[in-house]
């Protein structure tokens, strides 16, 4: 198998717990690039949440917002974008706010309300994510009205206080025909257009680049990585991955804190 493109999740995959890239992982990714392999972050994050990583890794493309937006980074141009029906999205935004959940919306930026911003950790934000979230969220006086005026909301992101809270209250958001549902960690829920997932974003990119499915290696850990792990010619799940991701993958590597991504790339690509 000849790998031409490596698609990798960020949080808890190539990033260590705490959000840093280890020297080994950085070195291996740069060696892959030197060998002509394309590096493609495939993440639930938006492009504006990745500035430091993009400047360090210098990829040419990125699959963002769980496949909703695919970027050509050299030209700073959008290759592909798909947003959900805005009326349905606004209904779910209002519901989340009325329930007192941490609520934010990706809309060419990430917007949240003052209550969510001020109470991130109490509302369920993972402690190692706080700094990044605080630095990249834009607070608006009325989230529902702001997204209604801007239009083209890409993703609704909700965080529950813990797993038990999610199990008890997520039913109000599920089973709507407009949305695809996924999670990046155990107590969050992400609503995107029903046709969107990381594999759909990768497919759109690979069709543009002339890269076949068999030439793609994907690395991930979360529920939102399942589609690309299944789709890629070689799917690699981290040792810290959720069971669904491990089941979808072809192989399992070491954890994100043990340079599992770098070890897999060395083994299968070099």
* Averaged pLDDT for residues 179-204: 96
User: In this predicted structure, what is the pLDDT of residue 107?
Assistant: 96
> pLDDT digits over 87-118, tens only?
999 999 999 999 999 999 999 999 999 999 99
59 CB neighbour count, 10 Å cutoff: 20
Angle between helices 23-34 and 260-269 (to 10 degrees): 30
pLDDT category at 150 given cuts 50, 70, 90 is: very high
Q: Which residues does 56 contact at the CB level (< 8 Å), separation at least 6?
A: 21, 26
| CA 98 vs CA 70, 95, 101, 116: distances in Å | 32, 5, 8, 12
**pLDDT at res. 248:** 98
Helix, strand, coil percentages (3-state) for the chain, rounded to 5, are: 45, 20, 35
Handedness of CA 95, 43, 245, 132 (dihedral sign): negative
| Burial group, residue 148, by CB count within 10 angstroms (0-12, 13-18, 19+) | middle
From 66-70, 128-132, 215-219, the region with the lowest mean pLDDT: 128-132
Judge whether residue 182 has pLDDT over 80.
yes
First-residue to last-residue Cα distance in the chain: 11
Residue 1's pLDDT band, with cuts at 50, 70 and 90, is low
On average, the pLDDT of the chain sits at: 96
Rounded Cα–Cα distance for residues 195 and 66 (Å): 11
Confidence band, pLDDT 50/70/90 cuts, at residue 221: very high
In angstroms, the CA 201 to CA 69 distance is 7
- Does the structure show a pLDDT above 80 at 249? yes
How many helices and strands in the chain, by DSSP H and E? 11, 14
pTM: 0.91
């Amino acid at each position: 198998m000849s790998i031409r493109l490596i698609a990798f999740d960020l949080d808890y995959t190539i990033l260590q717990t705490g959000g840093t890239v280890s020297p080994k992982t950085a070195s291996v990714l740069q060696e892959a690039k030197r060998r002509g392999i394309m590096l493609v972050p495939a993440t639930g994050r938006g492009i504006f949440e990745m500035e430091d990583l993009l400047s360090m890794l210098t990829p040419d493309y990125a699959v963002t917002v769980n496949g909703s937006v695919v970027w050509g980074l050299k030209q700073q141009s959008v290759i592909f974008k798909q947003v959900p029906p805005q009326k349905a999205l606004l209904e779910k935004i209002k519901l989340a706010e009325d329930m007192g959940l941490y609520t934010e919306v990706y809309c060419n930026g990430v917007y949240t309300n003052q209550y969510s911003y001020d109470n991130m950790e109490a509302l369920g934000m993972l402690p190692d994510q706080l700094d990044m979230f605080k630095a990249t969220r834009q607070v608006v006086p009325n989230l529902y009205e702001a997204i209604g005026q801007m239009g083209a909301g890409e993703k609704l992101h909700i965080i529950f206080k813990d797993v038990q809270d999610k199990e008890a209250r997520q039913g109000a958001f599920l089973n709507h025909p407009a949305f695809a549902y996924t999670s990046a960690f155990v107590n969050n829920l992400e609503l995107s257009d029903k046709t969107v997932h990381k594999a759909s974003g990768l497919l759109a990119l690979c069709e543009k680049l002339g890269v076949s499915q068999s030439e793609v290696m994907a690395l991930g850990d979360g529920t939102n990585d399942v589609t690309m792990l299944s789709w890629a010619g070689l799917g690699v799940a981290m040792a810290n991955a959720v069971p669904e991701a491990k089941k979808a993958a072809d192989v399992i590597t070491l954890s994100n804190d043990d340079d599992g991504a770098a070890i897999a790339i060395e083994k299968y690509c070099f």
